[in-house]
């Protein structure tokens, strides 16, 4: 009698090495796997919860400044270098991997108003309250050498901002006017004025490198072309803008941080209304910086928090704060899109993760797959109320929490009043003004 037995080829189920994943034969027939939505929902819920569990964005605090940190600059070629200038004129160069200061120099008397690293990364410029612009070597001086600037330019007025061209030896300062300087010359090759007595910030467009934007004290943002003799255009808003930042990937978008607690993203071609109004801060926004991918930006505020906004989102996706962090004056997004640096009033520079729950370091392939999957799950179920609640929940300091509430009430009251006025006046007499249009006063050609 022939006896038949089940026989299987061990190749089908035995893994070759111990490191391999166990081979799991699968039948993808959907009838065999019911409740897929329910199961994925649970997974998504768990992923969201875990994300919140692992959300620990604060990495390090760099202390050493003897006064509030007023400005910072990323190194153009090295990720681990950071320059920071404080209100007492001191400039420090930091090693971010070791969390330590590698060089300190007294750059100016009074505030260091602006620092910018040359595109080649070999030298950097500083501008200060002592009406000087100084160029320094990136390398620290050798033993016995004096710490001296390569170049010093004595200006007629105080400089409040500084930025360098992406490719050429040209930089721009702002103060009473916006000046374009050649590195080789002691006087500006061009200066722009447009009936304004002071500017607070100037930035080169990193993509269309000849364009500039600046914030003026008359509540306006002015655009320039370096090649032209006159400014291009300006938009006057209801309140003053503090800083402006161009999107590094999308040539015509820039975002400005405003005193009215909001940030505005503009298309430079259409200045009559911002593309997006970013709301969430409860005090003046002092600084803004785009992520190098151009998808998000980070903003620093007087309300002692920093927030991360998607470039086209009206609300922030993240808020960072610590008990000891005071008014945040400057903020930078690191060039590898992983970290955020914030300098604040209480003399510290803080290093944060850009994605709060991200695992740093090299991920194994399996980890990568899992991370991607959970990310997609969260995205897929983001509209479900439970998941949304968990994902959006952030702990806030009491004062900010209450102020947010208060602002909401105020806004609602204003809205209600407007509605009532409209209701009781002749139709068309009180037009509906959208949130975007509210904040722009005029566009001056």
Helix (H) or strand (E) holding 437: helix 435-438
Residue choice 95, 250, 259, 346 for contact with another protein (CB under 8 A): 250
Are 130 and 96 a contacting pair, CB within 8 Å?
Answer: no
Residues 30-69 that bind another protein (CB under 8 A): 30, 33, 36-37, 39-41, 43
3-state SS, 330-397, equals EEEECCCCCEEEEEECCCEEEEEECCCCCCCCCCCHHHHHHHHHHHHHHHHCCCCHHHHHHHHCCCCC
Residue choice 140, 151, 152, 375 for contact with another protein (CB under 8 A): 375
Rounded Cα gap, residues 140 and 102, in angstroms:
9
Nearer to another protein, 430 or 443 (CB): 443
282-301 mask for another protein (x: CB under 8 A)?
Answer: ----------xxxx------
25 binds another protein (CB under 8 A): no
Residue choice 213, 268, 308, 349 for contact with another protein (CB under 8 A): 268
Instruction: Annotate 203-241 with DSSP letters as a single string.
Output: EE-SSSTTEEEEEETTSEEEEEETTSSS--EEEEESS-E
In eight-state DSSP terms, residue 122 is: S
Least CB distance from residue 283 to another protein, whole Å? 29
Judged by CB under 8 A, the stretch of 2-10, 152-160, 221-229, 317-325 that binds another protein is 221-229
Residue choice 232, 275, 390, 440 for contact with another protein (CB under 8 A): 232
Helix (H) or strand (E) holding 45: helix 36-54
Q: What tokens were used for 394?
A: 């952030």
17 binds another protein (CB under 8 A): no
Least CB distance from residue 73 to another protein, whole Å? 14
Residue choice 26, 366, 398, 426 for contact with another protein (CB under 8 A): 26
Residues 378-397 that bind another protein (CB under 8 A): 380-381, 383-386
Q: Which residues of 391-420 are buried (b: 16+ CB within 10 A; e: fewer)?
A: beebebbeebeebeeeeeeeeeeeeeeeee
Rounded Cα gap, residues 348 and 61, in angstroms:
6
Q: For binding to another protein (CB under 8 A), which residues are involved? A: 26, 28, 30, 33, 36-37, 39-41, 43, 77, 79, 166, 185, 187, 206-208, 211, 223, 225, 228-233, 248-252, 268-269, 292-295, 335-338, 362, 369, 372-373, 375-377, 380-381, 383-386, 445
């Amino acid at each position: 009698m022939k006896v038949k037995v089940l026989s299987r080829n061990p190749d089908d189920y035995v893994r070759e090495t111990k490191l391999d994943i166990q081979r799991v034969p699968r039948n993808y027939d959907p009838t065999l796997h019911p409740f897929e939505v329910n199961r994925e929902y649970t997974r998504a819920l768990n992923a969201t919860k875990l994300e919140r569990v692992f959300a620990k964005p604060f990495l390090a605090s760099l202390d050493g400044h003897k006064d509030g940190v007023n400005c910072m600059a990323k190194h153009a070629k090295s990720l681990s270098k950071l320059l920071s200038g404080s209100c007492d004129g001191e400039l420090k160069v930091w090693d971010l991997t070791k969390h330590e200061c590698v060089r300190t120099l007294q750059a100016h008397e009074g505030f260091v108003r602006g620092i910018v690293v040359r595109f080649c990364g070999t030298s950097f410029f500083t501008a200060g309250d002592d009406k000087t612009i100084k160029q320094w070597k990136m390398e620290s001086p050798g033993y016995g050498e004096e710490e001296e600037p390569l170049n010093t330019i004595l200006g007629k007025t105080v400089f409040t901002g500084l930025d360098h061209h992406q490719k050429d030896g040209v930089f721009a300062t702002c103060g009473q006017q916006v000046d374009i300087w050649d590195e080789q010359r002691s006087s500006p090759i061009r200066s722009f004025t447009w009936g304004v007595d002071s500017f607070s910030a100037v930035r080169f467009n990193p993509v269309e490198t000849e364009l500039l934007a600046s914030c003026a004290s008359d509540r306006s943002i002015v655009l320039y072309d370096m090649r032209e003799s006159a400014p291009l255009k300006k938009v006057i808003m209801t309140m003053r803008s503090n800083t402006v930042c161009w999107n590094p990937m999308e040539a015509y978008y820039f975002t400005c941080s405003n005193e009215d607690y909001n940030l505005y993203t503009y298309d430079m071609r259409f200045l009559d209304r911002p593309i997006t109004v970013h709301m969430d801060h409860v005090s003046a926004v002092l600084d803004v910086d785009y992520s190098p991918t151009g998808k998000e930006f980070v903003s620093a505020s007087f309300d002692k928090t920093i927030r991360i906004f998607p470039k086209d989102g009206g609300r922030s996706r993240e808020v960072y704060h610590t008990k000891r962090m005071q008014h945040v004056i400057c903020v930078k997004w690191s060039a590898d899109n992983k970290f955020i640096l914030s300098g604040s009033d209480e003399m510290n520079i803080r290093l944060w993760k850009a994605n709060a729950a991200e695992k740093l370091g090299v991920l194994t392939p399996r980890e990568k797959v899992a991370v991607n999957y959970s990310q997609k799950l969260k995205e897929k179920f983001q509209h479900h109320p439970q998941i949304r609640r968990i994902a959006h929940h952030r702990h806030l300091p009491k004062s900010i929490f209450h102020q947010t509430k208060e602002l909401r009430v105020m806004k609602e009251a204003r809205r209600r009043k407007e509605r009532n006025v409209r209701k009781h006046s002749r139709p068309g007499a009180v037009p509906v003004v959208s949130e975007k249009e509210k904040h722009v006063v005029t566009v001056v050609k």
